[in-house]
Amino acid sequence: MDEKSLRDLLGRVRQGDAGVDEAVAALKGAPFEELGGFATLDTHRTLRVGMPEVVFAQGKTAAQVAAIARKLAQRGPLLVTRLDEEKAGPARRAVKGSRYDPVSRTLSKGRMSLPVRGPVAVCCAGTSDIPVCEEAAVTLEVMGVEPVRIFDVGVAGLHRLLARRGDLDRCVAVIVAAGMEGALASVVGGLVGKPVIGLPTSVGYGASLGGLAPLLTMLNSCAPNVTVVNIDNGFGAGFVAGLIARQG
């Protein structure tokens, strides 16, 4: 409630147009909904941060996911992430018209229609990084932003990346997913004058430490246009890139 609404409400109270009870309710108003004792849905999140609440399915039961998804899908676009195929059934059935993608492990329905400034590139170093990239791409699609996929262009063969410079140039932001040493983010960062979102993946072994190595690589990037999200966090990378792509 901003100051203008507050002044309006108080003016209506003073003029008798609004009762005290009504005003108390409005001032205390709860923009959330309790669900079965296990969830408190944040129903104002779209207004506040520009996207409805997204369901992180990992650690929830299939029944919990389905109940939350059904509720959220009544209010706008739906995105469920980290949803394993064997757990996806109830939610798919609960939300008519939803689409499950086994590569990105997402369930989604609908898309937002805010004006955007351009597409977002989603690059990765190797074939094994594709599932994480697809989570980012689906997120962008739900936000109404076009993802431009540039896959398997790791630094051991840089010419593959350089051949796609045209695609990089037409995007307003670039997501770079990489496991192992994660050097691709710095190289892309040195090539473009746009925000680069480093997306470390857990692809690798031994001293990759489950993705900590590419995470550190990206955090220490000598290219200063690189910021970083959590390991394998395709959704977060897609979401921030989607925000950057928005008009106004």
From 73, 140, 153, 176, residue interacting with its own copies (rule: CB under 8 A): 153
From 59, 86, 97, 113, residue interacting with its own copies (rule: CB under 8 A): 59
d(CA 135, CA 149): 12
d(CA 86, CA 82): 12
Nearest approach, Cβ of residue 94 and its own copies (Å): 16
Site pattern 6..25 for its own copies (x: CB under 8 A): xx--xx-xx-x---x--xx-
Other beta carbons within 10 Å of 11? 11
Q: Are 12 and 18 in contact (CB under 8 A)?
A: yes
Question: Does 146 participate in binding its own copies (rule CB under 8 A)?
Answer: no
Q: Looking only at residues 79 through 118 of this chain, which bind its own copies when binding is defined by CB under 8 A?
A: 117
Q: Are 148 and 121 in contact (CB under 8 A)?
A: yes
Q: Looking only at residues 166 through 185 of this chain, which bind its own copies when binding is defined by CB under 8 A?
A: 166, 180-183
Q: Which window, 69-77, 87-95, 104-112, 123-131, contacts its own copies (CB under 8 A)?
A: 123-131
Choice between 96 and 107, CB closer to its own copies = 107
For residue 200, the SS3 value is strand
Using only C-alpha atoms, the chain has a radius of gyration, in whole angstroms, of 21
d(CA 175, CA 121): 6
From 69, 130, 176, 177, residue interacting with its own copies (rule: CB under 8 A): 130
Q: Which window, 70-78, 89-97, 104-112, 144-152, contacts its own copies (CB under 8 A)?
A: 144-152
Q: Are 32 and 56 in contact (CB under 8 A)?
A: no
Altogether, the residues listed in the chain come to a count of 248
Question: Does 3 participate in binding its own copies (rule CB under 8 A)?
Answer: yes
